[in-house]
């Protein structure tokens, strides 16, 4: 079989778009690569800069309350998760009952104070840095894209599944394109005609998209994107024919999780799933338990709670790991709008049937002057390099060598979440 | 371009065409008065059409303007500014309710009580003075809600607007510091909103308007890392509460006239008008930035410079941009046809293409260029082509029948209407095969009706058509 590779330049990275595998071969490739039975990684990106201090609350730190007079979560409302190794008592946001239950199962890892030196306070630069896994560069390929590049060729066109409409930096790569399938229901090929003419149009569209467009790399890129769509239609449709064992929340995040569960249970075989839920740029009216931030936490906790339970019921949870991160944490002190501005270190989370749950790292002391703070004690200083968490996931979960993918050895000091 | 527009421009020199586009004020801004005409694209009305207070009606009106305006460059620049000052309906709606949020985006001056909407500001300043636009945007209620200025107070300055005005609206990352952000937040303290008397969120005549709350302004000195004044002074002096609004005027003027703002806008204009395939040319950026600074941030001479530059007219700049979804939809409708087509039908497709108007993903605007394209968004584009072609089946059949005696004739006639980048032999062959797939070509009316629509779908949905 033939596999075309079309070079396409973005930010100086040669990005090769989807391989042109014939559909009948695709599942064979998936099986040959062991994808349908392998461990898979679900990445949830919290867009906007999640306020880690209101996700995992240091409810015995007096400075937490004095610096957040209107948005601190009352100690009596937090969902206690015990104390970390430094003895600081911590609790989850009251709307995170779904995550709290997973924690009680011993399958939720909370990795405190993750980040990097001189944390960027720009959403876009910071988001790209978490994508490239290189604090010195917000351009170039992404860490998950470089992982996909290590998979055997020809690469299954659905080796990764992006549930958002645009490709995030983390999935950009030199050799592997990732289809974007935010909504399986509209992931179809429409026609102004019915019957034979409609079928003829699909044939013609495929033939047009298969044009290598020699010497026109940008046209070739769009062509192969188009072809990638046509080639993945039928398999992606399998996910929608799925009946979950639980009721998912009827919001965008819940529906994306339901689609991912469908793809997993129906054996589509993707190794990486990318999800995103936004609204975390809470400069105003965060609320103290309820409010804007409470709604965000409800969406997150209810969705992931349903997903975890569903995959456990379907006997898929042991082969599934979910990791969550955001581009930065937020300022410790609230602003004049009952919200918080852009900060530094954040909270990473991992959950799944094979995750060793618990509290990792140590909470900051929020009293001004404490060395766990930075930026004139305005922000939380990082303790765990985010790349060490990536390294753990790559080495211990996806079973590849993290060093070349991360362009460095970050294995030392990685939280032992597997 | 619609066939009528093609006729209009065909005999114009390049210079005359540029003048026609840039000096649009000589032609009336009468497009809204033509909404409802049967020979124009249609809008879907739910009871009554209220584009000043209903966001979906406002979306239809904007698309209608893009298609039928006599001033295409005005609408195109309004779209440019919408992306540059990207503000999203969802946050405004959560803050102020659907009616007020729609009004903050879309009210035409004077239709209801209260200030004109943000889009009208962008249309007003489409080729106006950037510094003046920036000053008005800083006081635009939609922006003040969007970046939380309404609660920027002396005691607790709010950094959101202060950061983004430097990072995204003017100089860009690398030309300001974190302390600049904190100082800018204090500069804009007291730049808040007030509600009209007896304000009710669901009352179309209620409104919010900008107010400078003198007693919420931090009056102390603010020092920046870059010059604020033409003498090189980097410090905004301490002022009285009542005079403190001048702090913001000084900062906005300094940012608008900053050489890096000139360069950043020049690069964005390169991407918007010239090419996304070739990186911004250094000579272009230098010369465009110089025109901008010489003209004290007047955009009309800047855009005229862009459109008359050798870079714009160079053949390498043809089909060198990935069309934005709103551009794609507008162009497809103008080229295929709009008979009886409701612009409401473009809403979901545009959303699936990644560009619901008034709903950019974040304050950075839409990721443009190749970022528009994924398998899902490409499907959304080609499926919109199918929807549009289905709606224009009879119209296309009538228009193309004279040329439909042969497959090649039909393709030629279609390519007189729709304008993809040049097709290689393979896709041309695929189109001929498509026309012949149903059996021998007879040119019968049913054959033309079916296959002309299919042909339009294939061309509008082709990779070649996604470039402008």
Q: Where are the domains of chain A?
A: 15-193+235-406
pLDDT of residue A231: 87
Residue B253's CB is within 10 A of a number of other CB atoms, namely: 19
Size of interface A-B (CB pairs under 8 A): 199
State the residue for tokens 């990795």: A111
pLDDT of residue A166: 78
CB A144 within 8 A of CB A170: yes
Q: What are phi and psi of B319, to 5 degrees?
A: 55, 40
Cα atoms in the 13 Å half-sphere on the side-chain side of A87: 0
- Look at residues A343, A381, A386 and name the one whose alpha carbon lies nearest to residue A365: A381
* Residue A51 predicted with pLDDT over 70: yes
Higher pLDDT, A23 or B170: B170
pLDDT tens track for B123-156: 999 999 999 999 999 999 999 999 999 989 999 8
pLDDT of residue B289: 98
Query: Which helix (H) or strand (E) is A329 found in, with range?
Result: none
Q: What are phi and psi of B384, to 5 degrees?
A: -65, -40
Please state whether beta strands A79-83 and A346-352 pair in parallel, antiparallel, or not at all (unpaired): unpaired
How far apart are alpha carbons A318 and A354 in whole angstroms? 5
CB A190 within 8 A of CB B386: yes
b/e map of A138-173 (b: 16 or more CB within 10 Å)? bebbbbbbbbbbebeebbbbbbbbbbbbbbbbbbbb
CB A240 within 8 A of CB A262: yes
pLDDT tens track for B345-373: 999 999 999 999 999 988 999 989 988 99
pLDDT of residue A31: 45
- Candidates A166, A173, A179, A334: best to mutate against B (most CBs of B within 10 A) is A166
B222 plus B96 within the same structural domain: yes
Residues of B in contact with A18 (CB under 8 A): 375
Q: What angle do CA A337, A342, A347 make, to 5 degrees?
A: 115
Q: What angle do CA B197, B203, B207 make, to 5 degrees?
A: 50
Note if the bond before A196 is cis, omega within 30 degrees. no
pLDDT of residue A7: 31
DSSP assigned state of A18: -
Of chain A, the percentage scoring pLDDT greater than 90 comes to 77
* Residue A11 predicted with pLDDT over 50: no
C-alpha gyration radius of chain B = 24
Band of residue B288 on the pLDDT scale cut at 50, 70, 90: very high
pLDDT of residue A176: 80
B76 plus B162 within the same structural domain: yes
B82 plus B37 within the same structural domain: yes
- Dihedral (CA of B130, B134, B139, B142) sign: positive
Band of residue A271 on the pLDDT scale cut at 50, 70, 90: very high
How far apart are alpha carbons A235 and A25 in whole angstroms? 12
- Candidates A70, A167, A190, A290: best to mutate against B (most CBs of B within 10 A) is A190
Among chain B residues, the shortest Cα distance to A186 is held by B380
How far apart are alpha carbons A48 and A280 in whole angstroms? 4
DSSP assigned state of B48: B
User: Which of A210, A222, A342 is opposite residue B373, by nearest beta carbon?
Assistant: A222
> Does a structural domain hold residue B7?
no
Average of per-residue pLDDT across A295-301: 97
State the residue for tokens 């026109």: A216
Of chain B, the percentage scoring pLDDT greater than 90 comes to 92
How far apart are alpha carbons A366 and A340 in whole angstroms? 15
User: Which of A121, A197, A205 is opposite residue B461, by nearest beta carbon?
Assistant: A205
The number of distinct structural domains making up chain B is 3
Query: Which helix (H) or strand (E) is A79 found in, with range?
Result: strand A79-83
pLDDT of residue A25: 41
Query: Which helix (H) or strand (E) is A259 found in, with range?
Result: helix A252-265
B285 plus B239 within the same structural domain: no
3-class DSSP assignment, residue A143: helix
Please judge whether A203 and B424 are an interchain contact, meaning their C-beta atoms are less than 8 angstroms apart: no
State the residue for tokens 């909504």: A183
Of chain B, the percentage scoring pLDDT greater than 70 comes to 100
B297 plus B378 within the same structural domain: no
pLDDT of residue A4: 25
pLDDT tens track for B305-318: 999 999 999 999 99
Please judge whether A337 and B433 are an interchain contact, meaning their C-beta atoms are less than 8 angstroms apart: no
B266 plus B312 within the same structural domain: yes
Exposed/middle/buried for B215, CB within 10 Å: 0-12, 13-18, 19+?
exposed
- What is the least distance, in Å, from the CA of A343 to any CA of chain B? 11
Please state whether beta strands B235-236 and B222-223 pair in parallel, antiparallel, or not at all (unpaired): antiparallel
CB B190 within 8 A of CB B214: yes
* Residue A8 predicted with pLDDT over 70: no
* Residue A143 predicted with pLDDT over 90: yes
CB A151 within 8 A of CB A204: no
> Does a structural domain hold residue B63?
yes
Band of residue B327 on the pLDDT scale cut at 50, 70, 90: very high
Please judge whether A125 and B173 are an interchain contact, meaning their C-beta atoms are less than 8 angstroms apart: yes
Please judge whether B437 and A123 are an interchain contact, meaning their C-beta atoms are less than 8 angstroms apart: no
pLDDT tens track for A259-268: 999 999 999 9
* Residue A146 predicted with pLDDT over 90: yes
Distance of CA B427 to the CA centre of its chain: 32
CB B369 within 8 A of CB B394: no
Among chain A residues, the shortest Cα distance to B90 is held by A279
* Residue A26 predicted with pLDDT over 80: no
How far apart are alpha carbons B298 and B440 in whole angstroms? 60
Residues in chain A: 418
Q: What are phi and psi of A330, to 5 degrees?
A: -125, 165
Residues of B in contact with A218 (CB under 8 A): 277, 322, 370, 467
pLDDT of residue A238: 85
pLDDT of residue A186: 82
pLDDT tens track for A337-357: 899 999 999 999 999 999 999
How far apart are alpha carbons A367 and A344 in whole angstroms? 16
- What is the least distance, in Å, from the CA of A189 to any CA of chain B? 6
Band of residue A293 on the pLDDT scale cut at 50, 70, 90: very high
Residues of B in contact with A201 (CB under 8 A): 434, 454, 457-458
How far apart are alpha carbons B422 and A323 in whole angstroms? 45
Cα atoms in the 13 Å half-sphere on the side-chain side of A387: 22
Residue B32's CB is within 10 A of a number of other CB atoms, namely: 14
pLDDT tens track for B195-230: 999 999 999 999 999 999 999 999 999 999 999 999
Query: What residue numbers bound the domain in which B147 lies?
Result: 15-260
3-class DSSP assignment, residue B230: coil
pLDDT of residue A183: 84
CB A3 within 8 A of CB A154: yes
Band of residue B432 on the pLDDT scale cut at 50, 70, 90: very high
Among chain B residues, the shortest Cα distance to A339 is held by B158
Per-residue tokens: A24? 């009948």
Average of per-residue pLDDT across A124-143: 93
Average of per-residue pLDDT across B405-421: 96
In chain A, positions 103-162, which contact chain B (CB-CB < 8 Å)?
A: 121-125, 162
Least confident of A186-190, B24-28, B84-88, B140-144: A186-190
Average of per-residue pLDDT across A4-31: 36
Average of per-residue pLDDT across A278-300: 94
pLDDT of residue B169: 98
How does the average pLDDT of chain B come out, rounded?
Answer: 96
Q: What are phi and psi of B308, to 5 degrees?
A: -100, 0
pLDDT of residue A392: 98
* Residue B42 predicted with pLDDT over 50: yes
How far apart are alpha carbons B429 and B258 in whole angstroms? 53
How far apart are alpha carbons A121 and A123 in whole angstroms? 6
Least confident of A10-14, A291-295, B19-23, B330-334: A10-14
How far apart are alpha carbons A165 and A180 in whole angstroms? 6
Please state whether beta strands A320-326 and B235-236 pair in parallel, antiparallel, or not at all (unpaired): unpaired
CB A223 within 8 A of CB A210: yes
Q: Please give the span between the terminal C-alpha atoms of chain A, in angstroms, as a whole number.
A: 38
pLDDT of residue A182: 84
CB B254 within 8 A of CB B226: yes
pLDDT of residue B98: 95
* Residue A1 predicted with pLDDT over 80: no
Point out which residues pair with A359 in neighbouring strands. Answer: A110
User: Which of A197, A213, A337 is opposite residue B450, by nearest beta carbon?
Assistant: A197
- Look at residues A133, A154, A153 and name the one whose alpha carbon lies nearest to residue A142: A133
Residues in chain B: 468
Q: What is the pTM of this model?
A: 0.83
- What is the least distance, in Å, from the CA of A315 to any CA of chain B? 30
* Residue A3 predicted with pLDDT over 60: no
Calculate the alpha carbon distances from A157 to A162, A241, A360, B377 in Å. 12, 20, 36, 17
pLDDT of residue A5: 25
B238 plus B97 within the same structural domain: yes
| SS3 annotation, B388-430 | HHHHCHHHHHHHHHHHCCCHHHHHHHHHHHCCCCCCCHHHHHH
- What is the least distance, in Å, from the CA of A313 to any CA of chain B? 30
Per-residue tokens: A306? 């349903």
Residues of A in contact with B421 (CB under 8 A): 219
The overall longest dimension of chain A from CA atoms, in Å, is 74
Higher pLDDT, B13 or A366: A366
**Contacting residues for B208 by C-beta, under 8 A, at least 6 apart:** B96, B100, B104, B114, B141, B145, B193, B194, B195, B196, B199
- Look at residues A272, A167, A231 and name the one whose alpha carbon lies nearest to residue B354: A167
- What is the least distance, in Å, from the CA of A269 to any CA of chain B? 18
B127 plus B207 within the same structural domain: yes
Average of per-residue pLDDT across B379-387: 96
Tell me whether A4 touches chain B (CB under 8 Å).
no
How far apart are alpha carbons B52 and A214 in whole angstroms? 49
Average of per-residue pLDDT across A26-43: 61
B107 plus B208 within the same structural domain: yes
How far apart are alpha carbons B394 and B456 in whole angstroms? 12
Least confident of A236-240, A331-335, B24-28: A236-240
How far apart are alpha carbons B148 and B135 in whole angstroms? 16
In chain A, positions 220-279, which contact chain B (CB-CB < 8 Å)?
A: 221-223, 225-226, 228-229, 232, 278
What percent of the residues of chain A are helix, what percent strand, and what percent coil, each to the nearest 5?
Answer: 35, 15, 50
B218 plus B97 within the same structural domain: yes
pLDDT tens track for A155-207: 888 999 999 877 899 998 877 878 888 888 888 899 999 999 999 999 999 99
**Contacting residues for B377 by C-beta, under 8 A, at least 6 apart:** A165, A166, A180, B325, B352, B353, B354
B430 plus B411 within the same structural domain: yes
Query: Which helix (H) or strand (E) is B222 found in, with range?
Result: strand B222-223
How far apart are alpha carbons B347 and B336 in whole angstroms? 18
Average of per-residue pLDDT across A281-295: 93
Looking at the domain that runs over A15-193+235-406, which CATH code has it been given?
3.40.720
* Residue B418 predicted with pLDDT over 80: yes
Residue B26's CB is within 10 A of a number of other CB atoms, namely: 9
User: Which of B362, B429, B431 is opposite residue A123, by nearest beta carbon?
Assistant: B362
Band of residue A37 on the pLDDT scale cut at 50, 70, 90: very low
Residues of B in contact with A292 (CB under 8 A): 94
Please state whether beta strands A384-385 and B191-195 pair in parallel, antiparallel, or not at all (unpaired): unpaired
How does the average pLDDT of chain A come out, rounded?
Answer: 89
pLDDT of residue B450: 97
B189 plus B278 within the same structural domain: no
How far apart are alpha carbons A378 and A330 in whole angstroms? 9
* Residue A36 predicted with pLDDT over 50: no
């Amino acid at each position: 079989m033939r596999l075309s590779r079309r070079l396409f330049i973005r930010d100086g990275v040669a990005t090769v778009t989807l391989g042109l595998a014939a559909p009948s071969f695709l599942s064979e490739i998936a099986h040959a690569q062991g994808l349908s039975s392998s461990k898979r990684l679900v990445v949830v990106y919290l867009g906007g800069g999640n306020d880690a201090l209101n996700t995992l609350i240091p409810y015995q730190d007096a400075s937490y309350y004095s610096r957040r007079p209107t948005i601190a979560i009352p100690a009596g409302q937090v969902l206690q998760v015990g104390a970390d190794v430094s003895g600081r008592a911590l609790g989850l946001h009251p709307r995170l009952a779904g995550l709290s239950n997973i924690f009680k199962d011993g399958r939720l890892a909370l990795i405190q104070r993750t980040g990097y030196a001189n944390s960027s306070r720009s959403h876009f630069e910071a988001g790209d840095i978490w994508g490239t896994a290189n604090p010195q560069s917000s351009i170039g390929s992404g860490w998950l894209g470089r992982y996909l590049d290590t998979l055997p060729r020809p690469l299954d066109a659905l080796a990764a599944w992006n549930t958002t409409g645009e490709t995030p930096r983390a999935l950009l790569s030199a050799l592997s394109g990732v289809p974007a399938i935010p909504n399986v229901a509209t992931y179809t090929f429409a026609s102004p005609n019915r019957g034979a003419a409609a079928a003829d149009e699909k044939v013609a569209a495929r033939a047009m998209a298969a044009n290598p467009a020699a010497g026109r790399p940008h046209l070739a890129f769009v062509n192969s994107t188009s072809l990638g769509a046509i080639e993945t239609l039928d398999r992606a449709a399998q996910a929608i024919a799925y009946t979950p064992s639980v009721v998912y929340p009827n919001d965008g995040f819940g529906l994306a999780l339901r689609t991912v569960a469908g793809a997993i249970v129906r054996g589509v075989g993707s190794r990486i799933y990318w999800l995103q839920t936004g609204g975390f740029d809470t400069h105003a009216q965060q609320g103290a338990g309820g409010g804007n931030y409470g709604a965000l936490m409800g969406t997150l906790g209810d969705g992931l709670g349903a997903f975890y339970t569903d995959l456990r019921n379907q006997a898929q949870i042991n082969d599934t790991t979910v990791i969550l991160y955001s581009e930065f944490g937020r300022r410790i002190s609230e602003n004049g709008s009952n919200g918080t501005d852009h900060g530094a270190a954040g909270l990473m989370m991992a959950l799944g049937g094979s995750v060793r749950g618990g509290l990792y790292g140590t909470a900051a002391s929020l009293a001004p002057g404490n060395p766990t703070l930075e930026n004139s004690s305005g922000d939380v200083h990082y303790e765990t390099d985010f790349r060490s968490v990536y390294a753990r996931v790559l080495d211990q979960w996806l079973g590849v060598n993290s060093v070349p993918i991360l362009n460095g050895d970050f294995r030392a000091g990685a939280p032992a979440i597997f | 371009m619609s066939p009528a527009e093609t006729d209009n421009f065909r005999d114009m020199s390049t210079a005359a065409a540029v003048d026609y586009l840039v000096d649009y004020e000589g032609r009336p801004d009468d497009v809204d008065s033509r909404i409802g005409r049967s020979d124009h694209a249609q809008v879907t009305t739910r009871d009554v059409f209220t584009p000043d207070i209903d966001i979906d009606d406002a979306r239809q009106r904007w698309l209608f303007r893009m298609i039928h305006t006599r001033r295409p460059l005005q609408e195109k620049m309004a779209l440019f500014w919408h992306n540059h000052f990207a503000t999203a309906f969802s946050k405004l709606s959560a803050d102020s309710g659907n009616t007020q949020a729609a009004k903050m985006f879309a009210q035409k001056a004077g239709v209801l009580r209260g200030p004109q909407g943000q889009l009208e500001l962008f249309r007003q300043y489409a080729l106006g003075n950037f510094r003046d636009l920036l000053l008005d945007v800083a006081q635009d209620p939609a922006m003040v809600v969007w970046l939380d200025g309404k609660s920027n107070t002396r005691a607790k300055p709010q950094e959101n607007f202060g950061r983004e005005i430097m990072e995204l609206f003017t100089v860009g990352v690398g030309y300001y510091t974190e302390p600049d952000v904190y100082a800018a937040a204090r500069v804009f303290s007291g730049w808040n909103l007030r509600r009209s008397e007896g304000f009710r969120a669901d009352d179309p005549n209620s409104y919010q308007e900008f107010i400078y709350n003198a007693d919420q302004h931090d009056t102390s000195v603010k020092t920046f890392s870059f010059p604020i004044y033409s003498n090189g002074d980097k410090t905004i002096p301490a002022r009285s509460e009542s005079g403190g609004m001048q702090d913001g005027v000084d900062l906005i003027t300094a940012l608008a006239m900053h050489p890096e703002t000139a360069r950043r806008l020049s690069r964005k204009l390169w991407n918007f008008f010239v090419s996304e395939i070739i990186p911004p040319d250094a000579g272009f950026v230098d010369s465009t930035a110089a025109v901008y600074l010489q003209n004290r941030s007047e955009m009309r001479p800047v855009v005229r410079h862009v459109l008359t530059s050798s870079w714009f007219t160079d053949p390498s700049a043809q089909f060198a941009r990935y069309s934005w979804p709103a551009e794609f939809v507008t162009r497809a409708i103008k080229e295929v046809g709009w008979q009886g087509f409701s612009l409401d039908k473009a809403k979901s497709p545009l959303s699936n293409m990644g560009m619901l108007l008034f709903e950019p993903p974040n304050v950075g605007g839409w990721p443009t260029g190749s970022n528009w394209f994924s398998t899902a968004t490409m499907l959304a584009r080609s499926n919109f082509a199918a929807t549009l072609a289905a709606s224009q089946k009879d119209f296309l059949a009538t228009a193309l029948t004279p040329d439909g005696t042969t497959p090649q004739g039909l393709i030629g006639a279609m390519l007189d209407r729709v304008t993809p980048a040049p097709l290689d032999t393979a896709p041309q062959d695929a189109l001929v095969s498509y026309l012949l797939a149903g059996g021998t070509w007879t040119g019968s009316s049913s054959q033309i009706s079916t296959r002309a629509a299919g042909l339009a779908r294939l061309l509008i949905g082709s990779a070649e058509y996604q470039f402008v």
